[in-house]
């Protein structure tokens, strides 16, 4: 009887792969498999290239005092005997260096090991290794790409708090799940936002790279059994495949890091006296059932002493209580009506993720967002933070009124005009060119983080009130008397026919760019507007060199007044044409008029469109 041994499936291919790997390592060092290994040092180098980590003892076994050379076949035989280092051995070795078990090796820890154990390295060699390992550039060598997640208790963190925490812990970035200022809930809006290591929104270069990478993903892995307790503050660890150490999820107090940052910016003692002292300022704060509720309760009520009932709708709800969490006169109508009653001196509302704000004075006196940032700029040294840092520059988005420009001109502080989007402000802040900025869409902030910050803006206003001991209305009226007033309004024409909207914008641009358009006069009531300049706004970023084109059509008049047209959203639901009217007035007899009366916007708009 004859016997037959069936070949093991894949045995030939495995052997072929082994020799291909041997040759790849060999050629990487010697350029050819015909070249011999001529020293122990060369043997060590080529073994390391092949994924081995030979000790002196191992090298001595194959390179004896009698050895003068080894060829490629000798090398292959050595590799068969010396197996690659197992991952478990690497993990064990890493843990002996990672003394505090935090998943990172510091420079000092690595330096001590590599200059005192085994084949000792020089300080220069250790520094060279560490400069490669320190991918996060924060002084630690990471043994895995992502080894730690930090999450707010109960999954709650405001967008400004996320920016604060990213910067505090030197995270590589943060992911924000938010409906922002839009309706939320199962049938509402939902967005995923990525902020980079400076705490600000990812720039287009990053999001474009993410998008390109996403198109190459063929599969992804999930951990369906990984259950995180979001209610308990502390660290939770999970053993995951292909991780050198347990994966850590840290649940933190949602408010404390952010509150501590604000304590270092504002004079909390002065604010506490304002809100709970003998001449207490009565405030009404509407969190609109967004995430800022716990921050309002902790900071304004518990710490600064405002009565608990001064803050309403402070319990975060996933659908915002069925309301639209946008802090404006339309969606914060309940607050507006309450303020009109005259019981409260100061009112404010915040959006769903806490980065936008609306400020009201007694009897519902409305503070336009463009005026808000201008008033803060004019009184910026009422805030201790700026007394220490100084003021580097102001900035506004292009559609925002020129109220901030008037303050910048008077104070001789540089003013930057950027496209809409906080990332443009972030670039200027990172370059130490910007201290305070704002947008007409109820966003105000400074360089303390890289996001607009609703609660920061409210504390800034309260600081100004505490310093000046005046009402919101009196502060704003004095501001207009000194700097003049920019009457400002915006109208959104939604779901218009995309083709018609695009044609209108093209025709309008052609009219504006015609030389004959410059110098034309448009009369509205007793006011005449003379066209000084017209363009399609383009922004050249002085920091990263990027250029943003076609940001909106601007008609700029000789007194600084402006009319702006922007087109957005040309999808199946139609387009949105946004019209901004910014009319400057310095006549003391006219600065207190109602904006709609002063602007006469229908007349001005119709006269411009008629020119088409």
Residues with a catalytic annotation lie at: 180
Cα separation of 560 and 563, whole Å?
Answer: 10
DSSP 392-451: --EEEETTS-THHHHHHHHHT--EEEE-SSHHHHHHHHHTT--SEEEETTTEEEETTSSS
Residue 11 · residue 31 · CB < 8 Å: no
CA distance 561 to 528: 11
Cα 123 to Cα 113, 429, 577: the distances in Å are: 11, 36, 62
Q: Is the dihedral of CA 17, 23, 27, 29 positive or negative?
A: positive
Name 343's Cβ contacts closer than 8 Å, sequence gap at least 6.
282, 284
CB 506 within 8 A of CB 577: no
Q: What is the DSSP letter of 561?
A: -
Is 577:484 a contact under the CB 8 Å cutoff?
A: no
Task: Determine the Cα–Cα distance for residues 350 and 494; give it in Å rounded to an integer.
Answer: 24
List, in order, residues 6 or more apart from 61 with CB less than 8 Å away: none
Cβ atoms 581, 495 nearer than 8 A = no
What is the spatial distance between Cα 203 and Cα 194, in angstroms, rounded to a whole number? Answer: 10
Q: Return d(Cα 349, Cα 342) in angstroms, integer.
A: 17
Name the β-bridge partners of 584. Answer: 486
Left if phi > 0, otherwise alpha if psi is -120 to 50, otherwise beta: which for 48?
Answer: alpha
């Amino acid at each position: 009887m004859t016997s037959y041994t069936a070949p093991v499936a894949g045995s030939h291919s495995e052997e072929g792969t082994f020799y291909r790997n041997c040759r790849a390592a060999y050629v990487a060092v010697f350029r050819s498999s015909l070249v011999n290994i001529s020293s122990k040092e060369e043997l060590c180098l080529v073994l390391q290239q092949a994924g081995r980590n030979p000790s002196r003892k191992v090298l001595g076994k194959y390179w004896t005092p009698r050895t003068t050379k080894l060829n490629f076949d000798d090398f292959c035989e050595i590799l068969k005997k010396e197996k690659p280092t197992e991952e478990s051995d690497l993990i064990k070795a890493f843990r002996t260096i990672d003394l505090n078990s935090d998943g990172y090796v510091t420079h000092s820890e690595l330096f001590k090991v590599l200059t005192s154990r085994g084949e000792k390295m020089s300080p220069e060699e250790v520094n060279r290794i560490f400069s490669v390992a320190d991918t996060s550039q924060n002084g630690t060598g990471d043994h895995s790409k992502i080894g730690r997640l930090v999450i707010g208790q109960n999954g709650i963190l405001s967008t400004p708090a996320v920016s604060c925490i990213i910067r505090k812990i030197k995270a590589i970035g943060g992911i924000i799940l938010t409906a922002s200022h839009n309706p939320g809930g199962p049938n509402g809006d939902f967005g995923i936002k990525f902020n980079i290591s400076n705490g600000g929104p990812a720039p287009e270069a990053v999001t474009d790279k993410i998008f390109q990478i996403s198109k190459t993903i063929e599969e992804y892995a999930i951990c369906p059994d990984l259950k995180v307790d979001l209610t308990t503050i502390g660290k939770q660890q999970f053993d995951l495949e292909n991780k050198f150490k347990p994966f850590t999820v840290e649940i933190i107090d949602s408010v404390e890091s952010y509150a501590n940052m604000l304590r270092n910016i504002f004079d909390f003692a002065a604010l506490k006296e304002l809100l709970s002292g003998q001449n207490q300022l009565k405030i009404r704060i509407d969190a609109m059932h967004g995430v800022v509720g716990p921050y309002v309760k902790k900071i304004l009520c518990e710490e600064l002493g405002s009565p608990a009932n001064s803050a309403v709708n402070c319990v975060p709800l996933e659908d915002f209580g069925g309301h639209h969490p946008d802090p404006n006169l339309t969606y914060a109508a309940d607050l507006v009506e309450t303020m009109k009653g005259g019981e409260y001196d100061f009112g404010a509302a915040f959006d769903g993720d806490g980065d936008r704000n609306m400020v009201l004075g007694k009897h519902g006196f409305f503070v336009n967002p463009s005026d808000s940032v201008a008033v803060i700029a004019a009184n910026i040294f009422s805030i201790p933070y700026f007394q220490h840092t100084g003021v580097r520059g102001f900035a506004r988005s292009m559609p925002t009124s020129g109220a901030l420009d008037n303050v910048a001109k008077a104070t001789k502080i540089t003013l930057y005009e950027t496209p809409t989007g906080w990332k443009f402000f972030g670039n200027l802040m990172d370059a130490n060119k910007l201290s305070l900025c704002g947008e007409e869409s109820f966003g105000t902030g400074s360089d303390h983080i890289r996001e607009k910050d609703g609660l920061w803006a409210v504390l800034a206003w309260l600081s100004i009130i505490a310093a000046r001991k005046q009402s919101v209305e009196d502060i704003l009226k004095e501001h207009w008397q000194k700097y003049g007033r920019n009457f400002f309004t915006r109208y959104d024409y939604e779901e218009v026919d995309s083709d018609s909207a695009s044609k209108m914008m093209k025709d309008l641009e052609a009219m504006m760019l015609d030389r004959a358009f410059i110098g034309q006069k448009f009369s509205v009531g007793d006011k005449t507007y003379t066209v000084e300049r017209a363009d399609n706004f383009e922004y050249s970023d002085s920091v990263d060199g990027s250029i943003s084109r076609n940001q909106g059509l601007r008609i700029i008049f000789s007194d600084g007044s402006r009319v702006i047209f922007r087109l957005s959203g040309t999808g199946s639901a139609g387009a949105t044409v946004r019209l901004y009217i910014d009319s400057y007035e310095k006549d003391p007899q006219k600065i207190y008029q109602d904006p709609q009366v002063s602007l006469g916007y229908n007349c001005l708009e119709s006269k411009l469109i008629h020119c088409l």
